[in-house]
Every structure is written in structure tokens, then in C-alpha cells.
Amino acid sequence: MAMGGALLAGCAGGSDGADGPSATEAAPSIDCAESGQVRGSGSSAQQNAMERWIRQYQLACKGVQVAYAPLGSGAGVAQFQRGATAFGGTDQALSAEDVEFTKDVCPGGQAVDLPMAGGPIAIGYNVPGVTDLVLDAPTLARIFDARITRWNDPSIQRLNPDATLPDIPVVPLHRADDSGTTQNLNAYLKGAARRSWPYPADKKWQAQGGQSASGSDAVSQAVTQTDGAIGYFELSFAVQRKIGTVRIATGAAEPVAPTPRSASLGIAEAEIAGEGKDLRLKLDYRTKAEGAYPIVLVTYEIVCDTGNRPETLPALKSFLTYTASEEGQSQLDAYHYARLPASVATEVRKVVSTLS
């Protein structure tokens, strides 16, 4: 994700335009800790969700201070490993090496991954005269690898038989910076396109050709300014800039558009692949489930399973119980995030209750 620097706290202005909790806003029903300070940092993908969660939590829990710095996933993991934060946010579950480096800050335990929010990675396009575009994984892979170079290519026409596709160059746009969004798109193409995508599921873009820009904001802006462009970014950028988004042909009865609900259905096809209290998810990129969008990103909160600081533990458990609650998850819709499947959210709350 693009890195940000602002510290989100309970008094921070929300992305909904508010300057902070108003005197008339009703406080949600939350099982609050009596006091405590909880600091987190990491993924900017969950920045707007975290801002909303903090604001709502502190409406109800006046004695607790929660702050989150959206510094990017790598920085969030590193700060947690140094003991600078009570939790970290990351767009990818921890590697075995990452977990090993958390054992010093989790005496008697180690860090675990708790999925907390999801969202679709939209494929946005700017093709004159085309208002509905369907692509499948192999075709998308060849486009982003500069092996399909004209929009009227037969592979695209086959998926869009009723469209008048212009004979103009395809301009694929990718992230110039290391990015969790890139990593998740790479993972999708590697899992769903297989032989058409020989590159690893890495944060660094390695395919051939195309143009680049740093951050989802810059990629989405470049799409709006370039005829024939196609790029990838979080759905909120497509909504904000009114960019058309690709429907993905998955083998379901109808191609699937990126929405919070379709992303939730895509995440529901995942399996919990972690062991013990670790709830790392294994996504099914080849799902054919009706209405399930397959190009999704899941953000995790990383916490100690054992060895949390006594002075922060009650507030940490209270806050994360809220974010994984039905009330907390319901806040995600307005910000174009995907709710966790109910079964996964239930498992998250169970693990949070056992943190020590």
C-alpha cells in the first residue's frame, strides 16, 4: 500500500468529513476496558476503517486511548517486532521468519495473524466507448505482461462479443513502489492464471512493459488521464474518480464486479491455514462461487498470543473484540471495505478473548 504518515486517534477527523465525535452522536454498545493506551501502526489499506473504528470505540470508551499510524505494512510489522506498538496492521500474513522475530516481544509466545477487514482490488480501465468490460485471469495476465497490446485483440473480443473495442494500444499501469496491493494481485494471477503468469506473489512488480506510478492514488489518476489505460487499485479510488471497473469471468454464471459484498463472498471461500491461534487465510483464487469476486485483499492485525503487556492488554482485547464484532464490521460498508465472513469473525473474537 502507499505509505501514509498521519497518526489516527480518537479525536482525528474522519474520512466521512467529521472533525471528531459530536455531542449528539450516539455511542455504540461496547464492552469497554476501564483505561489504557493502545498504539498500532501498519497497513494504510485499512486506514479509513481504523479511523472509523477508533472514533466509534472512543465514543463509548472514554477511559481508553487508541492510536493508529498508517505507515505501511512493512513498517507496521517492524514496529511491532521492536515492541513499539501493541498491534500491527499488515496486508499479508506474517512469514515464519517474521514470527520468529516477534518472540522477544511476546515473552512465552509469538505473534499471530487476526484477519480484520477485506476489500476488492479493482481493475480500472479507460477505453473510449467501452462502458462494460469483462476479462478472465489468463487474459488479464497477458494484458499486464504486455503480451496483449491492442484493445481489439481477439482474446478480449471473445469475452466481450457485443462490445465495439477500439483499435488502440493497451497501456497497462502498475505500482512503482513495493505494495501489498501488487502482492495480492500477483497472488491472484499466479493462482488463477497459472501458466500465463510466471512471476512470484511479491510486493515488487516484475512483469514486462507497461507504465508505473507510486501509490494507488497516482495509478488511478494515470488511468483517468490515459486513453487505453488499465490499472489496479482499491475500489475506493475507482469510486472516487468514477473509473470503470472490470468484471471478472470466474466460471460462475455471470462475471463478477468488485463490490464490498462480492469481496466478502470471495473471502468466504478462503480456508483458515494458520495453526493454533493464528488465523492466516488461504484464499481460493480459482473460485467459481456465484457472486464471489476473486481479487481480494485481507488486512490482518498482528498481536502476541501470550506475553502482551499487562497495562495494555485489557484495552487491546476490548478494542479488537469491537472491531471484529457485528457492530464493528458493519462500519466497513460505507468505506468500500468487505466484512469478514461471520464464521471468520467469530473465530477472531474467540482468539482475542484468549490473549494473555
- Angle at the Cα of 287 (from 282 to 290), degrees rounded to 5? 130
Find out whether 45 is annotated in a ligand binding site.
yes
Residue found by looking up cell 466509534 in the block: 56
Domain shared by 82 and 198, yes or no: no
The answer to whether residue 152 is domain-embedded is: yes
State yes or no: 43 annotated in a binding site: yes
Q: What is the pLDDT of residue 177?
A: 85
Say what the alpha-carbon torsion angle 93, 94, 96, 101 is, to the nearest 10 degrees: -170
Instruction: Please tell me the distance from the alpha carbon of residue 117 to that of residue 298, in angstroms, as a whole number.
Output: 6
User: Nearest CA to 192 among 140, 260, 231, 269?
Assistant: 140
How many other β-carbons are positioned within 10 Å of the β-carbon of residue 31? 11
Q: What is the pLDDT of residues 262-293, one digit of tens each?
A: 999 999 999 999 999 999 999 999 999 999 99
Other CB atoms within a 10 A radius of the CB of residue 165 amount to 17
CA gyration radius, the chain: 20
| Predicted confidence (pLDDT) per residue in 62-116, tens digit | 999 999 999 888 889 999 999 999 999 998 899 999 999 999 999 999 999 999 9
Domain end call among 214, 246, 264: 264
User: Are residue 90 and residue 20 in the same domain, yes or no?
Assistant: yes
Pairing of strands 111-126, 244-245: antiparallel
Is 44 annotated in a binding site? The answer is yes
| Closest-CA residue to 83 (of 103, 66, 105) | 105
Residue 7 binned pLDDT confidence (cut-offs 50, 70, 90):
low
**Residue 11 predicted with pLDDT over 50:** no
330 has binding-site annotation: no
Residues 229 and 185 in one domain: yes
| CATH code at position 326 | 3.40.190.10
Q: Does some domain include residue 322?
A: yes
- Structurally, the chain folds into a number of domains equal to 2
207 is known to lie in a ligand binding site: no
Confirm whether residue 181 is marked as ligand binding. yes
Residue written as grid cell 493454533:
276
Q: Give dist(CA 304, CA 306) in Å, integer.
A: 5
